[in-house]
A and B are shown apart, each in its own frame.
Chain A
Amino acid sequence: MDPAPTLILDNISKSFGDFTAVSNLSLQVKPGRVFGLIGPNGAGKTTTIRMIVNITVPDSGRIQLLGQSMTTALQDRIGYLPEERGLYRRMKVGEQLRFFAELKNLTGAEAEARINRWLQKLQLLDWKDKRTKDLSKGMQQKVQFITAVIHEPDLLILDEPFSGLDPVNVELMKETILELKGANKTIILSTHQMEIAEKLCDDVCMINRSRKVLDGRLRDIRRSFAHNAVAIKVEGVDGVLNDPELVASLREVGEEVEVLLAPDANPQTLLKRLVEAGAVIGKFELVEPSLHDIFIQKVREAA
């Protein structure tokens, strides 16, 4: 039996004047899992996150964290890494972390010990007494990450945690996220980097134009789209692949081409057309589409 969800959004909506940012959104986020919140720019992700962290309040609907209705006291159980980074430029790294820990009611020697532990872990200990503005962008990013996890929150919300990081640090960040997941924390990951989301996320919710368009286990979602993607290796059939009635998008992977079929097309039609066109087919395989492809398909459907 599934454990109780950490976070429940129950039919929440939020508008600003005439603009509807989020409409009738419901979702459940379970402990020990990474939950991907994806969607194009302006879809309503940030507004949703802001409601979860209690910066703004939904116009209607309920938010439950750890079985309780959202309150300011519950904010201390959440860690938040916003997309727009924000640190006091002139503060020293150690003091900065201490201040943000205190804002989460974490004080004293315990705070100090954890700050040192995290700085050590993210290879920033030498920078503890440096002013934040003297750090590189990637290092500031890691400092910002520590502010989100220092109080060991039950729910961690990471909005674009990988932007500005070099490949080494991306790996470090990924490992850290997986460790937190292993410690049975609940993680919401919002990102446009689909390859990373694909590797990290257990569940995915996609929002487009203020509405939920996808929700479920990533594995199930990909399987349900399997009839839609084909990996082929062919020669001399450009005309067929350029037919918009048949093909939604193409992606070349080495010698192969990954074809995402148009909504009304199916693999049989494609194969038939290719044969009719006299193509030399080296490979024709149904594949599970990447999250990237699913994302693009969903956005195009709505357009």
Chain B
Amino acid sequence: MNKLLAVIKREYVQRVRTRFFVIATILGPILMSAFTIVPGMMMMMHSGGPTRIAVIDQTGKIYASLAKDLESGDRPRQLPSPTTAITQPVAPGGSQEQIKQAGQMTRTNFELQQVPGGNQSVDNLKNQLETKIQNREIDGYVFLPADLLKGGRPEYRARNAADLFTREAIQSAIGRAVRSQRLIDAGIQPEEIERASAPVDLRSVGEAGQENQGEAGFFLSLGMGIWIYMSVLLYGQVVLGAVIEEKETRIAEILFSSIRSFPLMMGKLIGVSLVALTQMSIWALAFLGFSAWAAGGPIALPRVPPIVFLYLLVFFLMGYFIYSTVYAVVGSMVTTTQEGGQVAMPIVLMLVAGFFLSFNIIRNPNSPLAFWASLFPFFAPITMLVRIVTETPPLWQILLSLAIGFTTAVGLIWLASRIYRVGMLMYGKKATIPEVMRWVRQS
């Protein structure tokens, strides 16, 4: 027992003190938030000034309502309006809402100008506008043909016609303007039209009765999946490196002359897991502090039920112990880190498979596939967590998944410690699978 503690202590103290740990702990959250915020910022930056659009309106009836629609930004949407979501407490995934709003802001920035038709031919006008686009006086133009209201096709030319946001905004604005005009032409009062086209706000409610932000939940599930995936991979690599170091430097021989391989391996895994937990605690505290500081401020941070953090922790540990054990075995079989990377490839693929399964599981959290995938110990750390966040399964399923997972981990550690003992003392060449099988039988 003392020896186990000695191994844990060494593994923990030596790692936490390294510069790498300090840097990773500081940079981790910065990088994470950069990944979330930067795309949003990019979209903001893109817009720069307003998008200047010239309009040739041959119908003479559309421009006014089109300009009103696009310039005000107060246009009805096809999606349920998220404006309601801003005023309510934002449940999981609020930051995604922020990004969406940021995206919308880019769309409100339009500046329209009508091109007086005069006597000039259409082609002539278009040529002039093309020149203006090239001279960057405008960003694009819209041509509304005279037969637009009878099914004619409008035209949109722009420097960047591939900008989907802008194109979609213009297309739906034209659509709305044309629909309204047709109704007016059919003799319906404009006020009637406005009342008839008031948006419907679909309120989606989950099983437990809480309001369910569909998209936010999706991002939260995915985020947790990615997080488990990355940290299991990261700390698995740490274990792999540690094992290879002990093998390369021949420390293993002294270790095995003093301690049995099971407590040695256990101590190593526990030590590194404590490093991981330390790092996460620091992040969690920083996050809480930041939340408290930002409370009521301009940034709405996602609010996650505390139990989810507990599950995150437990499933991380489960994934960590399963995969790191396999990594430790790989480390004992190979001679260099590069070789280790190759041999560990199938393991990484398992983890990746679990990650990709979660896309399907988010959509059908109660399908048989989701059920079995969240019990299979190599997928469960990701898949079960994704299910919990998406639509919490019955408790017995969670407990069963944990029981299977941790039993697997213990079994793997036992098996691995036998391979470990022999593998660590074999120098000079990579072990083959049949050799490894023999080690298990022999030791």
A interface, CB within 8 angstroms of B: 17, 50, 53-56, 72, 75-76, 78, 80, 82, 84-91, 95, 99-100, 102-105, 107, 147
Given contacts A72-B260, A86-B249, A99-B10, contact A147 B254 (CB under 8 A): yes
**Interface digits, B258-270 against A, CB 8 Å rule (1 contact, 0 not)?**
1110000000000
B179 interfacial contact with A, CB 8 Å: no
Of all chain B residues, the one with the shortest Cβ separation from A49 is B257
**Interface digits, B415-443 against A, CB 8 Å rule (1 contact, 0 not)?**
00000010001010000000000100000
B2 interfacial contact with A, CB 8 Å: yes
Of all chain B residues, the one with the shortest Cβ separation from A104 is B258
- Give the complex CA separation of A104 and B245 in angstroms: 21
Contact A84 B250 (CB under 8 A): yes
**Interface digits, B1-28 against A, CB 8 Å rule (1 contact, 0 not)?**
0110111011000100010000000000
When the two chains form the complex, which single residue of B6, B10, B250, B421 contacts A86, counting CB atoms closer than 8 Å?
B250
CB distance from B121 to the nearest CB of A (A): 80
CB distance from A258 to the nearest CB of B (A): 38
**Interface digits, B238-275 against A, CB 8 Å rule (1 contact, 0 not)?**
00000001100111111111111000000000000000
Contact B14 A90 (CB under 8 A): yes
Contact A103 B255 (CB under 8 A): yes
Given contacts A55-B425, A90-B14, contact A102 B2 (CB under 8 A): yes
Q: What residues on B are CB-neighbors of A87 within 8 Å?
A: 249, 251
Q: What residues on A are CB-neighbors of B18 within 8 Å?
A: 90
Q: What residues on B are CB-neighbors of A90 within 8 Å?
A: 14, 18
Q: What residues on A are CB-neighbors of B256 within 8 Å?
A: 55
- Give the complex CA separation of A289 and B133 in angstroms: 103
- Give the complex CA separation of A80 and B260 in angstroms: 15
CB distance from B61 to the nearest CB of A (A): 78
Contact A89 B254 (CB under 8 A): no
- Can you pick out 16 interface pairs between chain A and chain B where the beta carbons lie within 8 Å of each other? A17-B438, A54-B257, A55-B253, A78-B257, A80-B253, A80-B254, A82-B257, A84-B427, A86-B251, A86-B254, A87-B251, A88-B245, A91-B10, A103-B255, A105-B2, A105-B3
The interface on chain B, measured as residues whose beta carbon lies within 8 A of the other chain's beta carbons, has a size of 27
CB distance from B257 to the nearest CB of A (A): 4
Contact A75 B257 (CB under 8 A): yes
Contact B250 A85 (CB under 8 A): yes
Q: What does DSSP make chain B's interface, helix, strand, loop or mixed?
A: helix
CB distance from B417 to the nearest CB of A (A): 13
CB distance from A119 to the nearest CB of B (A): 18
Q: What residues on A are CB-neighbors of B257 within 8 Å?
A: 53-55, 75, 78, 80, 82
Given contacts A55-B253, A55-B256, contact A88 B2 (CB under 8 A): no
CB distance from A90 to the nearest CB of B (A): 7
B interface, CB within 8 angstroms of A: 2-3, 5-7, 9-10, 14, 18, 245-246, 249-260, 421, 425, 427, 438
Contact B254 A99 (CB under 8 A): no
- Give the complex CA separation of A275 and B418 in angstroms: 67
Q: What residues on A are CB-neighbors of B427 within 8 Å?
A: 84
- Give the complex CA separation of A163 and B412 in angstroms: 40
CB distance from A302 to the nearest CB of B (A): 26
Contact B2 A86 (CB under 8 A): no
Contact B14 A88 (CB under 8 A): yes
Q: What residues on A are CB-neighbors of B245 within 8 Å?
A: 88-89
CB distance from B263 to the nearest CB of A (A): 10
Q: What residues on B are CB-neighbors of A104 within 8 Å?
A: 258
- Give the complex CA separation of A95 and B260 in angstroms: 21
Most buried by A among B250, B252, B254: B254
Q: What residues on B are CB-neighbors of A102 within 8 Å?
A: 2-3, 5-6, 9
- Give the complex CA separation of A240 and B257 in angstroms: 52
CB distance from A268 to the nearest CB of B (A): 50
- Give the complex CA separation of A69 and B41 in angstroms: 71
CB distance from B377 to the nearest CB of A (A): 30
- Give the complex CA separation of A88 and B438 in angstroms: 30
Q: What residues on A are CB-neighbors of B258 within 8 Å?
A: 75-76, 100, 103-104
Contact A103 B3 (CB under 8 A): yes
- Give the complex CA separation of A54 and B256 in angstroms: 8
New A-B pairs, 20, CB < 8 Å, besides A78-B257, A82-B253, A84-B253: A50-B253, A54-B257, A72-B260, A76-B258, A80-B254, A80-B257, A82-B257, A85-B250, A86-B246, A86-B250, A86-B252, A86-B254, A87-B251, A88-B249, A90-B18, A91-B10, A100-B254, A103-B6, A103-B259, A107-B2
Given contacts A72-B260, A91-B14, contact A99 B6 (CB under 8 A): yes
